[in-house]
Chains A and B, each alone.
Chain A
């Protein structure tokens, strides 16, 4: 079994990097876009709030696999032809953006109204209230679900193998296709995914301690 794992590792390395690339792109883009849309959902004008609300509810109501196939096989019908990697990243990012929007909304909504009022009362403008009073507190509420969402993104990235993108999952299946010995390879894959996510969870706990300024 050790022999089979050692044989497989070089083939998996490239797939592992693709998995990290897909996860990283999805997380970074969805963090930037999701925070912007989430702030828009809370403070924006009505048309923007409506648009974000409809986007988020729609995306979150669709199975992620359907979304991936829709982007890859469906969008060419309206002239948007993406290669498998781009389509997979776009679909996973749309899904993650919708989640981040809700984390942001929930985090901001959890800050008592008195905080914004006290910030207004000392003369802070809207931007300063967000920057110095609301966001530092909301970040603490935002981080746990978000880091949880990052581990979901790593796990969910395995779905891109269904479009033929050679990520870790696809690389594992390719090796199994040559050796016809599934158990050691899937065990190895599980361990690699676990190690990545365990590292992320540890990071999450450290971040939470760092932001634990409120005693409850």
Chain B
């Protein structure tokens, strides 16, 4: 289990720096000047009511969503737009390169159904990282074993349970050796009895120092596994800090209190 730390990793210049991020869908402002930093090796969890913009925030980080203003930098490099001269969108190849360094695991798994578990993991290694078939296969077997699915390497996604599919999804993302891993409500589509096996994998990655930014409704897990919790409401960061502080702040932050009360009823 990871203890929340004040010093250590968090004192360095952040690996991921989000500043003044705004984003609208038509007339709806989803993100209203969000600031957020994630240091190397840090695990940051974003919680908040649905519609608060947390998933959109995550999707902006690897540019699955464009953003209107503000900046997102990974290792000092702007994500979606060229640094110089206004907001010029990066070319296809540059974007692909940036995304390859930003792993993402999806709520609905999004495994490639025509490829086996191993081939799902190998695709990026072969076509993006340029590894040989043998190298990619070895890496895929390594990562599938890490998530407890070494014996399922040659199964198609349709032959796996939801929890197994999501663990393949995690293996596919981490095999690319990304600088940061984005986890978007990765247990929300799972049957309750399958949630544990997936969270266990995330916990072990955190223990090894993988930098992670995750959105989750598993408050208990967020409290145990995160260095910091960010509470979002109405497209803004309403509270942020070590889990114990943020969860304790519920007594004087009305929105946070109301949000957590619903979880206390069912989860604590």
Q: Which residues of B contact A118 (CB under 8 A)?
A: 104, 106, 110-112, 172
Q: Does B140 contact A (CB under 8 A)?
A: no
Give the number of residues in A that approach B within 8 Å (Cβ atoms): 22
In whole angstroms, how far apart are the Cα atoms of A140 and B123 in the complex?
Answer: 20
Min Cβ gap A128→B in Å is 5
Q: Does B64 contact A (CB under 8 A)?
A: yes
Q: Which residues of A contact B159 (CB under 8 A)?
A: 215
> Which A residues from 52 to 80 make CB contacts under 8 A with B?
none
Q: Does B193 contact A (CB under 8 A)?
A: no
Stretch at the interface among A86-94, A131-139, A147-155, A183-191: A131-139
Q: Does A81 contact B (CB under 8 A)?
A: no
Q: Which residues of B contact A140 (CB under 8 A)?
A: 114
Q: Please determine whether B102 and A121 come into contact, CB atoms closer than 8 angstroms.
A: yes
Q: Which residues of B contact A215 (CB under 8 A)?
A: 156, 158-159
Q: Does B138 contact A (CB under 8 A)?
A: no
Q: Which of B96, B114, B172, B176 contacts A125 (CB 8 A)?
A: B96
Q: Does B163 contact A (CB under 8 A)?
A: no
CB within 8 Å: A-B pair count: 76
Q: Which residues of B contact A122 (CB under 8 A)?
A: 99-100, 123-124, 128, 172-173, 176
Closest to A136 in B: B114
Q: Which residues of A contact B127 (CB under 8 A)?
A: 124, 128, 132
In whole angstroms, how far apart are the Cα atoms of A133 and B157 in the complex?
Answer: 14
Label chain A's interface by main secondary structure. helix
Q: Which residues of B contact A125 (CB under 8 A)?
A: 92-93, 96
Q: Does A181 contact B (CB under 8 A)?
A: no
Q: Does B52 contact A (CB under 8 A)?
A: no
Q: Does B103 contact A (CB under 8 A)?
A: yes
In whole angstroms, how far apart are the Cα atoms of A140 and B113 in the complex?
Answer: 12
Q: Which residues of A contact B96 (CB under 8 A)?
A: 120, 123-125
Given that A118-B106, A118-B112 are known contacts, is A123 also in contact with B158, CB under 8 Å in the complex? no
Given that A114-B108, A123-B176 are known contacts, is A132 also in contact with B123, CB under 8 Å in the complex? yes
Q: Does A115 contact B (CB under 8 A)?
A: yes
Q: Does B226 contact A (CB under 8 A)?
A: no
> Which B residues from 108 to 133 make CB contacts under 8 A with A?
108, 110-114, 123-124, 127-128
> Which A residues from 85 to 137 make CB contacts under 8 A with B?
112, 114-115, 117-126, 128, 132-133, 136-137
Q: Does A6 contact B (CB under 8 A)?
A: no
List residues of chain B with CB under 8 Å of any chain A CB.
Answer: 62, 64, 92-93, 95-97, 99-104, 106, 108, 110-114, 123-124, 127-128, 156, 158-159, 172-173, 176
List residues of chain A with CB under 8 Å of any chain B CB.
Answer: 112, 114-115, 117-126, 128, 132-133, 136-137, 140, 213-215
Can you name 14 A-B residue pairings with CB atoms under 8 Å?
A118-B106, A118-B112, A120-B64, A121-B104, A121-B106, A121-B173, A123-B96, A123-B128, A124-B123, A124-B124, A125-B96, A133-B123, A137-B112, A213-B156
Q: With A121-B99, A125-B93, A137-B114 given, name 12 new contacts (CB 8 A).
A: A112-B110, A117-B64, A118-B111, A119-B112, A120-B64, A124-B127, A126-B92, A132-B127, A140-B114, A213-B113, A214-B113, A214-B114
